[in-house]
Amino acid sequence: MYSIEVENLTKKFGHFTAVNNITFQVKKGEIFGFLGANGAGKTTAMKMMCGLLLPTSGKAKIAGFDLNAESKLIKQQIGYMSQRFSLYDDLTILENMKLFGVIYNIPRRILNDRIEEQLTELKMFEIKDLLVNEIPLGWKQRLAFATAMLHHPQIVFLDEPTSGVDPIVRREFWSLIYKAASQGITIFVTTHYMDEASYCERISIMAEGSVQLLGTPTELKQQMGVATIDDLFVKFVKR
Amino acid sequence: MSIIQVENLTKKFKKLTALSELNFEVQKGEIFGIIGPDGAGKSTLFNILATLTLPTSGTITVLDHDILKQYKQIRKEIGYLPGTFSLYPDLTVQENLTFFATMYGSGIKENLPMIMPIWRQISPFKNREAGKLSGGMKQKLALCCALIHRPKILLLDEPTTGVDPVSRKEFWDLLDKIREYQVTVVVSTPYMDEVGRCDRIALMQDGRFITVDTPESIIKNYKGDLYAIKTSQLFKLLDIMPQFQEKCSYYPYGEYFHISFYHDTKHAKNSFLQFLKQHEIEFEKMEHISPLLEDCFIEIIKEDRNV
């Protein structure tokens, strides 16, 4: 069963083709790495999949809904987190979670239970009244991830979720990603850390608006005759 | 010969201590790398070295000038590439370069050879507005602008953050070329794979340097006995590892699982193999490996947190 089905999706801005006829599927519960150089079209493609940008042509089904006709319903079924924006710094941990819950129309009683459950899981219950700008970055990222899943989405889009944290915190974050995936949530993730690409079940590499390579990390390395994902990326982009 | 001397540098912002009792020196002609997560204090340190922020206490000399009394001389002799702002997006590539050169009262012509390896790559776009360049191109232009007055010290605050791996490698190749001109480089980065290219590295956490050394000695000082295994059941393995009794450190490393033993390695390794068998974890092979810098940093950070 697929969570994401993208078919011939294209986005043009004037004469510039940002995303050029991309086609791929992502399975339910899969961790899918979406790689590419800066300016390759990743962000535009991701915005379309989140229902934030209409495609120029092509179609897609996200969480079972049609991108062109049902983008409102898609938003209810997806979570989104990026390192740059996800939480309000001047609200407390609890206020941030409540705000997101209300935005997603989660009934109050259910919301309170879920928040309590998440805060306990995150070991943040005791500090729930701290402002977000008072907590370390690694905690913020875990909180942002939990908040993005408060409405129990089918798919979570993670845009460079681990930029700027130390190697231990980065690994702790990935264990959360794996936990979510093992519960059946589909993870769609971009990263500039090539070791993280290896944690994905499949990866795609985009260049000049097209998906040029797609497969499991092992398959792609064999196909290109390289030892590491880092080499794969370098060889691919330079060719 | 040391070109930057920092003694007991502390910087406080109200309640927050951003930098705490820092002591270090940077030698002439070296590439000195500062690696640390966001919020460690890297940018605050750069702002102080660039004479833009005052320290709360401490003595800092840059090029034999005191940063409090002789900041004007320092500013003429350094190039600074801050993490955020550095270019004028509505000026063209050429206009940006001319602007920076004029500000420092230096001519473009005489210094062009030094920036040529970089300038060659961006000059085809010299009439394009800087705001319309790609991320990698912007970085290259910013580097040209920071270098056009031929500074003795180049301060680069996270020049490659958010830049893709290929553009990052190119950027470091350029830094290597600049070295030929005897420029001292202080550079910060959140990427572990980059710091191996520095002469010395400072690992920064919570406003402190927890280690300052050459990449070679950091690797030499690694205490554990490190093994790598390749398994398709990586996350099942991580899940059950808390049940493993021997003292060890473990973490995923790309497609591998790294495990490091500290005492009686032979015994610990054997019980680990048994543990894998008992939990039916299949793996290709278990290899004794030399640590990479990231392994060393993980060990150093863990040790630092336990103290």
In the predicted structure, residue A239 carries a pLDDT above the cut 90: no
Both tokens of A175, joined, read: 């264990």
pLDDT bin (cut points 50, 70, 90) of residue B85 is: low
Structure confidence at residue A158 (pLDDT):
94
- B276 and B167 in one domain? no
In this structure, how many other beta carbons lie within 10 angstroms of the beta carbon of residue B246? 17
- For A92, which DSSP code? B
A75-126: per-residue pLDDT in tens? 999 999 986 668 999 999 999 999 999 999 999 999 999 999 999 988 899 9
Q: What is the mean pLDDT of residues B161-185?
A: 86
Nearest-by-Cβ selection for B252 from A36, A37, A171: A171
Judge whether B165 and A230 are in contact, CB under 8 Å: yes
Residue B253 counted as domain residue: yes
Question: For residue B108, what are the domain limits?
Answer: 2-214
Query: CB distance A237–B193 less than 8 Å?
Result: no
Q: What is the mean pLDDT of residues A24-50?
A: 92
Residue B304 counted as domain residue: no
**End position of a domain, from candidates B214, B240, B271:** B214
Backbone angles phi, psi at B260, to 5 degrees: -125, 130
ipTM of the predicted structure? 0.78
**End position of a domain, from candidates B192, B214, B236:** B214
- B137 and B25 in one domain? yes
> What Cα–Cα distance (Å) separates residue A63 from each residue in A17, A48, A66?
26, 13, 9
- B153 and B100 in one domain? yes
A6-25: per-residue pLDDT in tens? 999 999 999 999 999 999 99
- B172 and B106 in one domain? yes
Choose the mutation target among B235, B297, B305 for the interface with A, i.e. most A CBs under 10 Å.
B235
pLDDT bin (cut points 50, 70, 90) of residue B207 is: very high
Query: Between A and B, how many residue pairs show a Cβ–Cβ distance under 8 A?
Result: 85
Structure confidence at residue B295 (pLDDT):
94
Q: A80 at the B interface (CB within 8 A)?
A: no
Q: What is the CATH number of the domain that holds B10?
A: 3.40.50.300
- B136 and B205 in one domain? yes
- B61 and B166 in one domain? yes
> What Cα–Cα distance (Å) separates residue B213 from each residue in B198, B235, B244?
10, 34, 33
- B282 and B161 in one domain? no
Q: What is the CATH number of the domain that holds A18?
A: 3.40.50.300
Q: Strand B208-213's sheet: what is its strand order?
A: B78-81, B153-156, B184-189, B31-35, B200-205, B208-213
Residue B302 counted as domain residue: no
Contacts of B134 in chain A (CB under 8 A): 38-39
Structure confidence at residue B232 (pLDDT):
84
Name which residue leads in pLDDT, B180 or B261. Answer: B261
Backbone angles phi, psi at B222, to 5 degrees: -65, 130
Number of domains making up chain B: 2
> What Cα–Cα distance (Å) separates residue B149 from each residue in B29, B77, B142, B145?
17, 8, 13, 8
- B171 and B195 in one domain? yes
In the predicted structure, residue A237 carries a pLDDT above the cut 80: no
Question: For residue A26, what are the domain limits?
Answer: 2-238
- B88 and B190 in one domain? yes
Q: A37 at the B interface (CB within 8 A)?
A: yes
Number of domains making up chain A: 1
Chain B residue closest in CA terms to A238: B166
With a pLDDT cut of 90, the percent of chain A lying above it is: 69
Judge whether A33 and A203 are in contact, CB under 8 Å: yes
> Which residues is B13 bridged to in the sheet?
B16
Residues in Cβ contact with B80 at an 8 Å cutoff, skipping those fewer than 6 apart: B46, B50, B146, B154, B155, B157
Contacts of A193 in chain B (CB under 8 A): 191
Backbone angles phi, psi at A54, to 5 degrees: -85, 140
**End position of a domain, from candidates B161, B187, B214:** B214
Judge whether A170 and A193 are in contact, CB under 8 Å: yes
B38-59: per-residue pLDDT in tens? 889 999 999 999 999 999 999 9
Q: What is the mean pLDDT of residues A173-185?
A: 91
Q: Could you give the CA distance from residue B172 to residue B169 in angstroms, rounded to a whole number?
A: 5
Structure confidence at residue B178 (pLDDT):
86
Average pLDDT of chain A, as a whole number: 91
Name which residue leads in pLDDT, B264 or A126. Answer: A126
Residue B155 counted as domain residue: yes
B265-287: per-residue pLDDT in tens? 889 999 999 999 999 999 988 99
Q: What is the CATH number of the domain that holds B263?
A: 3.30.70
Q: Could you give the CA distance from residue A220 to residue B164 in angstroms, rounded to a whole number?
A: 19
Q: Could you give the CA distance from residue B195 to residue B192 in angstroms, rounded to a whole number?
A: 6
Give pairs for B52-58: CB < 8 Å, separation 24+: B53/B11, B55/B9, B55/B10, B55/B11, B55/B19, B56/B10, B56/B11, B56/B12, B57/B8, B57/B9, B57/B10, B58/B6, B58/B7, B58/B8, B58/B9, B58/B10, B58/B21, B58/B22
> What Cα–Cα distance (Å) separates residue B82 from each residue in A38, A209, B217?
20, 31, 30
Structure confidence at residue A236 (pLDDT):
78
Choose the mutation target among B84, B164, B250, B303 for the interface with A, i.e. most A CBs under 10 Å.
B164
- B271 and B164 in one domain? no
Residue B6 counted as domain residue: yes
Closest CA to A37 of A213, A187, A155, A198: A213
- B245 and B156 in one domain? no
Q: A14 at the B interface (CB within 8 A)?
A: no
Q: Could you give the CA distance from residue A41 to residue A211 in angstroms, rounded to a whole number?
A: 9
B219-231: per-residue pLDDT in tens? 999 999 999 999 8
> Which residues is B9 bridged to in the sheet?
B22
- B88 and B27 in one domain? yes
Contacts of A167 in chain B (CB under 8 A): 192, 294, 297-298, 301
Q: Could you give the CA distance from residue A127 to residue B284 in angstroms, rounded to a whole number?
A: 44
Residue B190 counted as domain residue: yes
Q: Could you give the CA distance from residue B100 to residue B89 in angstroms, rounded to a whole number?
A: 14
Residue B298 counted as domain residue: no
A115-159: per-residue pLDDT in tens? 999 999 888 999 999 999 888 888 899 999 999 999 999 999 999
